[in-house]
Amino acid sequence: KQWYQRRVAITAGREAKANGNFYVPAEARLALVIRLRGVNNIPPKPRKIMKLMRLRQINNAVFIKLNKASKEMLRIAEPYITFGYPNLKTVRELIYKRGFGKINGQRVAINDNTVIEQALGKYGIVSIEDLIHEIFTVGPHFKQANNFLWHFKLSCAKGGLKKINNHYVEGGDFGNREHFINNITRRMN
């Protein structure tokens, strides 16, 4: 799937260049955000942002819809989190393995589709695959679907992290790792 998307992007770029135009690839609309740092020595603003994102514990993960406001929030909280753009396989594995729903403020296991249908049936989301599709495509009811999902409690990364005090581009861990978020999520799931 990813090689096909890359192939389409390359072809579109070549066609645009041949016609004397530019090709600008579409920006990602969904981010997976994972908290890397604990609770000590975090300034109030990043702490509040992580609280808004439901990242209250180390190794918690959530899906975020990317827009101007959320990108600014990610930028402010960047030294304490890592984020990137998950593929469909990552989204599906997270929801199937670590997915819990929120019903009346309670954490409820998603062991059959009736749990999803009771909470999100009025939005046309009746099965776990509908939920995965709504999250991955950032559909019209993304907010309700994402709010229904409890934050993911991931394990520590198998093989460990490199250095949580350095940015990913400097060989560390925090910050934007774009599509490489899929690798660390596999190790933590």
Q: What is the pLDDT of residue 89?
A: 93
- Identify the pLDDT of residue 2: 64
* Other beta carbons less than 10 A from residue 12's beta carbon: 13
Q: Which amino acid is at 14?
A: R
Under 8 Å CB-to-CB from 151, ≥6 apart: which residues? Answer: 54, 55, 56, 60, 61, 62
Tokens at 75, concatenated: 């930028």
pLDDT at 4: 81
Residues of the chain with pLDDT under 50: none
DSSP state of 111: -
What is residue 183's predicted lDDT score, i.e. its pLDDT?
A: 93
